[in-house]
Structure 1
Amino acid sequence: MEDLVNQLKVQIIKALKLEDVKPEDINPTAPLFGDGLGLDSIDALELIVLLEKEYGLRVENAASAKKIFSSIKSMADYISEHKKA
């Protein structure tokens, strides 16, 4: 799980072009939106694309998206639960 969390940190930094952020700067349980990493709705779309391209997972609705993208740990949990073997 720790490997997946670290992999997600790197992928998010790359996908969102967060040049000032290093993987070790991101707390895996900190919120991605608002006070945490400070992402916005455009970033949310990028995260959805990331999940689809890298992990083959689709986000079905806004309610589940809010839960999935609350933190890097919640994303990792979702990927672990739904990834096809």
Structure 2
Amino acid sequence: MEDLVLKLKEQIIEALNLEGVSPEDIDVKAPLFGDEGLGLDSIDALEIIVLLEKNYGIRLSNAAEGKAIFTSIEHIADYVKEHRTK
């Protein structure tokens, strides 16, 4: 699971062009959206959706599902572990 978490952190940093952010800077339990965590926005969420589909074969069926999954890196990793097709 740790390998998946690290890989997700690296992929998110690259996909979102988070300059000056390293995987170690991202707390797995910290919120991805809002001022408390990485401060991502809805455009970033779309990029993460594309990343999950491209790299793991995961298609999210609705926005509510994405909102629940994208609360933290930990939640994304759990979801990927259970639902990946690639």
**Secondary structure of residue in 2 paired with 1:33:** coil
* Post-superposition CA distance 1:17-61 (Å, at most 9, x none): 001101000001100000211000100000000000000100111
Percent of residue pairs bearing the same amino acid type: 67
TM-score by length of 2: 0.95
Inter-partner Cα distance in structure 2 for 1:77 and 1:40: 21
Q: Which runs of 4+ in 1 moved over 3 A?
A: none
Figure out how many residues of one structure are paired with residues of the other and give that number: 85
Q: Which runs of 5+ in 1 are unaligned?
A: none
Pair 1:32 & 2:29 matched? no
TM-score normalised per structure 1: 0.96
Note the aligned Cα RMSD (angstroms): 0.9
